[in-house]
Each structure stands twice: as C-alpha cells, then as structure tokens.
Structure 1
Amino acid sequence: MTQKILFVCLGNICRSPAAEGMFRHLAPEFETDSAGTAGWHLGKPPYQAMQTAIKARGLDISDLRARQFCPQDFDRFDVIILMDSENQLNVEVQRPTGNQTPVSLFTDFISEAGMDHVPDPYYTRDFDGCLDLLEQAARGLLLALVPPVS
C-alpha cells in the first residue's frame, strides 16, 4: 500500500506546495498533497516567485492548487508534515479524538542543529534558501520512511 504524506504550511502557496513538489520528485512512489491552515488562497496556484525558484531547479509545481487543512486529513494521510510549530498547533487542535496519525515538523528531518522551522519565503523573500531547507528535509524524510538496505 502506498504511503500518503501531507505537507502543511500557513497559506499553501509557498512552503507546503514546494515541499510536496520536492518530495514527489525524490519519491514518486508516495502519494503526496499539501494544505494550509489558513484559507486565504483557496484554489490558487503556488506563489509565482516560488514557482520560478523551484522551476530553476527543474521542478514544476504549477499543477498544485491551495486548499485548507481539515480534520478529515488525519484519516486520509499516513503522515502529516508541518513547516512550523504555529501551524502544528493549528493542526493538532483539529485532531479527532483517538486519532494516532503521526505529525512532525519538517525540520525534524534535517541534520542541521538548531533548525526548528522552515522560514516562510513569502515574508523573507529567500525562496532559494527555503528550497535548500526543503530539499534537505525531503531527503531526510525519505530516509526515515525508507531506510537504506544494508
């Protein structure tokens, strides 16, 4: 059975769609989706500056559309990955009673010490720096889900 992974940020136009695109490129055998905890951009494509930055790395996320996280996502996905602790809190308050779906910060999969969130490039304007972190985290997540055979 294919594992289903959901990437979540605030607006679902920068970090989470880029994380989804990065991860689906590295591991196309997984089912992926992304969502935001806020509903400001529902139905819109990823932010153009993020699309440009990720396209420079050979990836295309233009097919993605913003949607809002909902409690049913806990049942639809095997793993939920958050970009920061504020969004993690916003997701956890929606957790159905008794649900055990693992929820992690994406930075938990980065070996770099002291990284506790993926900075939002919508505000920082550092799209390349964000993509560097997302790539490191995507590789780390893949290793955690599919450990190398020794």
Structure 2
Amino acid sequence: MTYRVCFVCTGNICRSPMAESVFRARVEEAGLDEQVEVDSAGTGDWHEGDGADPRTVAVLEGHGYDCDHIARQFQAAWFSRLDLVIALDSGHLKVLRRLAPTAEDAAKVRLLRSYDPAADDDLDVPDPYYGGMDGFEACLEMVESASHGLLADVREDLEGRAA
C-alpha cells in the first residue's frame, strides 16, 4: 500500500514545490520511493497550471534537487487518499483543517516544521515570494531541516503498517 504525502502552501509555486522536491529526494535516498508518493498543492488557485517560481527552481537546482512542477489547488476530496497533509504555515494549517471532511482527516494535517527538533516556537516557513533570493535559501534550509524528522515519522508509520 502506497503512503501518500501532500505539501500545501498558498499558491503552490514556492514553498510547497520546494518541500515536495526535497522530501522526494529524501524518500529516494532512503529507498522508499516504491512505497511513498510525494505531491504538493496550494490553498488557492491563483497559479494553477503555472510552473514553480523561477527563484524556487534556481535554489533547488543550485542545491542538486529536481523541480518538475505544475501548480494546482488542494481539493478536500483528496483527504480520503492521503496519509499526511503537510502545511507550510499556520494559516495553511487552519484552512486545511477547515476543509477536512472528518476529524480523522483533520488529524492528518501537520505543520512541516513540527518535524524539526531544532525549530523554535514559530513553526511557520515564511513565504519568500515578495522578497529576494535569501528568503528562498532560508526556506530551503527550513524545509531540509524538517524533512529528516518527517522521513523518520513516515518510515515509522510504514513499519507499523507492515507489522
């Protein structure tokens, strides 16, 4: 059975495609790419059909990640097939939990930085869209830091399913 993770930000062109690319790389490195499906979406439809922001692509490629992405909007109907819905900030967390059809679905929504033991009290990944490249670099650092803990949690869930 495939384990499905979807990262969600606002427009699905900056933070969530970055998290998707980084986490997909971690999943592949761990040899779990046959068991784990990684995806992303946005809470809004402003950029639906667009590629990732060129700054996101540049930062990802500059750090050795692939980024083949087309933006889309998250749909409440997806909850039934997803195991985890990873919000990039607390605003996304609230929107996604309101969209969730059931309490069980709402429990699938988590903040990405909650998986980073070094994160401070602010678990939001700031939106780099209106800033410069340094914001995209900082976003990548936060995503990379949290992806290790997220992978450990997913691996634990997979082992629990196999038991």
Q: Same fold (TM over 0.5)?
A: yes
Equivalence for 1:116:
123
| In 2, Cα distance between equivalents of 1:20 and 1:13 | 11
Contact 1:17 1:34 in 2 (8 A): yes
Using the size of structure 2 for normalisation, the TM-score is 0.85
TM-score by length of 1: 0.92
Residue 49 of structure 2 is aligned to residue 43 of structure 1: yes
Partners of 2:130 and 2:144 lie apart in 1 by 20
Q: CA RMSD of the aligned region, Å?
A: 1.5
Asked whether the 8 Å contact 1:8–1:36 carries over to 2, the reply is yes
Describe the shift of the 1:80–1:135 C-alpha distance in structure 2 as closer, same or farther (beyond 3 A).
Answer: same
Q: How is 1:1-150 mapped onto 2 (pairs within 5 angstroms)? A: 1-28=1-28, 29=33, 30-61=36-67, 63-97=68-102, 99-100=104-105, 102-112=108-118, 113-125=120-132, 126-147=135-156
For the residues of structure 2 that align with 1:17 and 1:114, how far apart are their CA atoms? 24
Question: Displacement, 1:98?
Answer: 5.1
Question: How far, CA to CA, are the matches of 2:79 and 2:66 in structure 1?
Answer: 27
Q: Which stretches of structure 1, 4 residues or longer, exceed 6 Å deviation after superposition?
A: none
Distance change >3 Å, CA 76–CA 54, structure 1 → 2: same
Structure 1 unmatched ranges of 5 or more:
none
Instruction: Select the structure that is richer in helix.
Output: 2
Q: Deviations over 1:127-146 (max 9, x none)?
A: 11100000011111001222
SS at 2:130 equivalent? helix
- Looking at structure 1, the residues matched to 146 and 51 of structure 2 have their Cα atoms a distance apart, in angstroms, of 23
Q: How far did 1:115 drift? A: 3.3
Percent of counterpart pairs with the same letter? 38
Shift of 1:57: 0.6
Q: Once the 2 structures are TM-superposed, how far is the Cα of residue 2 of structure 1 from its aligned partner?
A: 2.0
